[in-house]
Structure 1
Amino acid sequence: MTFLTRPPTPFRRLGLTGSIGAGKSTVAALLRARGLTVLDADEQARLVTDEPETLAQIGLAFPGTVRGGVLDRPALGAVAFADPARLAQLNAIVHPRVRARMAALETQAAARGARWIVQDIPLLFEGNLEAGMDAVLVVDAPLEIRVARVMARSGLGREEVLARDARQMPADEKRRRASVVIENAGTREELGIQVDAALQTLGITPELPRA
């Protein structure tokens, strides 16, 4: 198990991550049901990309993806995910704003007395953010299960899902860097048992009765 050093704070951070289709959002919901504060980087990114200043920058960098003050997310995804350099350009616009929002939400949670704060970040390792965590929980599932899940929820084709997965850090490397790995190939009940075991391993006490 790997715990990473970071400057002391009134609370501790648990990084939550996993490859595309692993079921990280389901684990996040189970953690919330156990009373933990979970901050969702994807949710904050969606909010950030609704802000006029962010939209203006995206519109300049990616012409045609902002129409009438509204972001065309599929069009932006098609452009950004097709080219690593363009994706890096988009991330340079969005990620600093997301980090600022996450930091503000952490401050609010700490003021409420949260002892552990979960940061749900899909690209935690890719963004070199693990050094800011006290522990990292990785959710994983076999590749074919992950691909099927993403295809079912998004309408993307198999090759497109595989291409997006290939742009992330390999699942095996994420597992190697994890403090705890949760295997999400079974039922939600089985997943809940693993979540409870992971919290026990990490010394995290649920702050509300289990839902």
Structure 2
Amino acid sequence: MTAEPHHLKRLGLTGSIGAGKSTVAALLRARGLTVLDADEQARLVTQEGSVLAELNTAFPGVVVGGALDRAALAARVFPDASALARLNAITHPRVRERMLALEREAAARGESWVVQDVPLLYEGGLDAGMDAVLVVDAPLELRVSRVMARSGLTREEVLSREARQLPAAEKRRRATRVLDNSGSRADLERQLDAALADLGVTGRAARDD
């Protein structure tokens, strides 16, 4: 295992489905912070030929024309905990390696903090490697309505995905700071800026001044 980068602190970013984590990630980038998106890295991993071959062996039919049929894979693994575990065993180690490589690049640029945007941060036990964790939250019904509006999922499908995650209340309990995204964007930005100030988190722009 390659050594982790020195002198680099990790700010974990997570939240339940529909909470607005992506909005906060964009705000963090706007503040000069490097945000490493675990979902984005997972998509890149599943474009690799060796990974596609493993996925097609584990889940025959999910690779079509040399590309992953993500909808078919989701339909296969989400209702089946053992299938999801097989998927994670294939992809997660590779995603972690990619995230670590990106952290080394940030450390080489002289950055002191990097944000790890990980939907299942607590579920994967990755919070243990974070120096602080921001949890984005909003009331359940608001979150469900957001996801239904943007994704076309039914209420039952959203609730099913919600049920497979750590309860929102437990995420809030474990968080270093909680951002309540039930109000205006301006209110969310105020909360974020206060949290970053309290934690001493600064981005590239602030350090270059």
Which TM class, normalised by the smaller chain length? over 0.9
The structure 1 residue matched to 2:25, chosen from 4, 25, 28, is 28
Runs of 4+ with >2 A deviation: 205-209
2:194 and 2:166 map into 1 onto residues whose CA distance is 26
| Cα distance in 1 for residues equivalent to 2:24 and 2:151 | 19
Could you report, residue by residue, the CA deviation over 1:35-90 in whole angstroms, capped at 9, with x for unpaired residues? Answer: 01100000000110111111111111111111111110011001110111111110
Output the TM-score relative to the length of structure 1.
Answer: 0.93
- Alignment CA distance shift 1:176-1:8 (3 Å): farther
Uncovered stretches (5+) of structure 2, i.e. residues with no partner: none
Within the alignment, does 1:60 sit opposite 2:57 as a pair?
yes
Question: Quick check: 1:77 aligned with 2:82?
Answer: no
Give the drift of 1:203: 1.4
Q: Quote the offset at 1:8 in angstroms.
A: 8.6
Output aligned runs, 1:21-170, within 5 Å.
21-170=18-167
Structure 1 residue 153, shift from structure 2 partner: 1.2
Once the 2 structures are TM-superposed, how far is the Cα of residue 200 of structure 1 from its aligned partner? Answer: 1.0
1:8 and 1:46, CA in 2 relative to 1: closer, same or farther beyond 3 A?
Answer: closer
Contact residue 180 and residue 188 of structure 2 kept, 8 A: yes
Q: Return the alpha-carbon distance in structure 1 between the equivalents of residues 74 and 111 of structure 2.
A: 35
Contact 2:17 2:147 in 1 (8 A): yes
Is the counterpart of residue 187 in structure 1 residue 191 in structure 2? no
Partners of 1:170 and 1:9 in 2: how far apart?
Answer: 33
RMSD across aligned positions (CA): 1.2
Q: Counterparts of 2:27 and 2:81 in 1: how far apart (Å)?
A: 33
Is 1:139–1:184's contact at 8 Å kept on the other side of the alignment?
yes
Provide the rounded CA distance (Å) in 2 between the counterparts of 1:190 and 1:32: 18
Aligned counterparts of 1:82 and 1:11: Cα–Cα separation in 2: 38
The alignment covers a number of residue pairs equal to: 203
Unaligned runs of 5+ in 1: 1-6
What's the CA shift for 1:9? 2.7
What is the distance in 1 between the residues matched to 2:103 and 2:12?
Answer: 13
SS, match of residue 123 in structure 1: coil
Shift of 1:131: 1.0
**TM-score, normalised to structure 2's length?**
0.94
Partner of 1:4: none
